[in-house]
Structure 1
């Protein structure tokens, strides 16, 4: 597992010890960033199920200004901190040990908004539709922001919410699908 491109291209990333996390493969990570970037002129990312921090760190390496990492596992938070330090991004990041729904509520109270939101929960605990609904309800996605949701292909996510539309979905083999959401276009009715 490594940083694919940008300032830290090729930098190895530590994996979270144990079997509770499932890192995004380098091939899928590269595909995701080719769809949403591949590079950024600033912006803020949220890696809600941080794991090793691979997606948020990739965003930082490709030009995001800041990333917030959330994971409920202590081992994951420690791994994210080590990977951030290894890449020199500790000053560009915040890490929180918290459950996803509670973290979204706390970010709402801070009036946070993100240009990139990565949702990659462990497959055994799929809660993506609820996460996407809360992100919508709390207004956590910036106007031109993108939500990237990695999930099992058998999980059916909504085509739209009150604010978001599913604009692309990619399936990688039999084990992984990635759905991309953005804000619904605003109708200009003059």
Structure 2
């Protein structure tokens, strides 16, 4: 979801996101003008889904701070078997549900709850997890530990993290290995893979 200054992103202008690949390529979905909502830019999204070229189709995906749903809906368009979008803000979650309903038979589910509360429920393993939390709230350390310890990650799961550049170093589970690391403007983003714990 991520709360910060609005991103300079033409795809988010006017309260829309655009799907850039897959079944619904070019489809625009409305986004509420919620204060500080920061959809992932097309540039970052394109890079991310190039990284994940062989990981999305047929995978179970979790978009834990869904916000605009930019990442979760992109995964659906590219053939994910299931996408769960978790969003705390009720009105934003309702817009996500409307957008999901506009995509014919998309295998998605919107859950209106806090990310930390969601991770306290019974776990289902995911192959791919998107973490784009509100900036400057230090949510990632707890979330990453809960994902690893709570059974939310399949073996060899991929975890995408988007956060503010120049933020403090992030303590991560020791079996998460960095695959990719880039910056774009004020945003830092990384892709990790979960290695089997011996």
Partner residue, 1:182? 193
Question: 1:159 Cα deviation (Å)?
Answer: 6.7
**Structure 2 residue 37 is the aligned partner of structure 1 residue 21:** yes
- Cα 1:75–1:38 change in 2 (3 A) is farther
1:139-172: CA deviations, max 9, x gaps?
2111121110110012244474143222321111
Q: How does 1:110-189 map to 2 (within 5 A)?
A: 111-158=123-170, 160-173=172-185, 175-184=186-195
1:54-112: CA deviations, max 9, x gaps?
1011111111111111111012111111221222245x111111111111111xx1x30
TM-score by length of 1: 0.87
- Cα 1:169–1:156 change in 2 (3 A) is farther
User: What secondary structure, in the 3-state scheme, does the structure 1 residue paired with 2:166 have?
Assistant: coil
Q: Where does the alignment leave 5 or more consecutive residues of structure 2 unmatched?
A: 1-16
**Structure 2 residue 113 is the aligned partner of structure 1 residue 101:** no
Partner residue, 1:12? 28
* Aligned residues: CA RMSD: 1.9
2:153 and 2:27 map into 1 onto residues whose CA distance is 29
**Structure 2 residue 55 is the aligned partner of structure 1 residue 42:** no
User: What secondary structure, in the 3-state scheme, does the structure 2 residue paired with 1:22 have?
Assistant: coil
Give yes or no for contact 2:59–2:81 (8 Å, CA) kept in 1.
Answer: yes
Q: Where does the alignment leave 5 or more consecutive residues of structure 1 unmatched?
A: none
Q: Which one has the bigger helix percentage?
A: 1
1:17-43: CA deviations, max 9, x gaps?
221421111111111111122663301
More moved, 37-46 vs 16-25: 37-46
Partner residue, 1:59? 75
User: What secondary structure, in the 3-state scheme, does the structure 2 residue paired with 1:13 have?
Assistant: strand
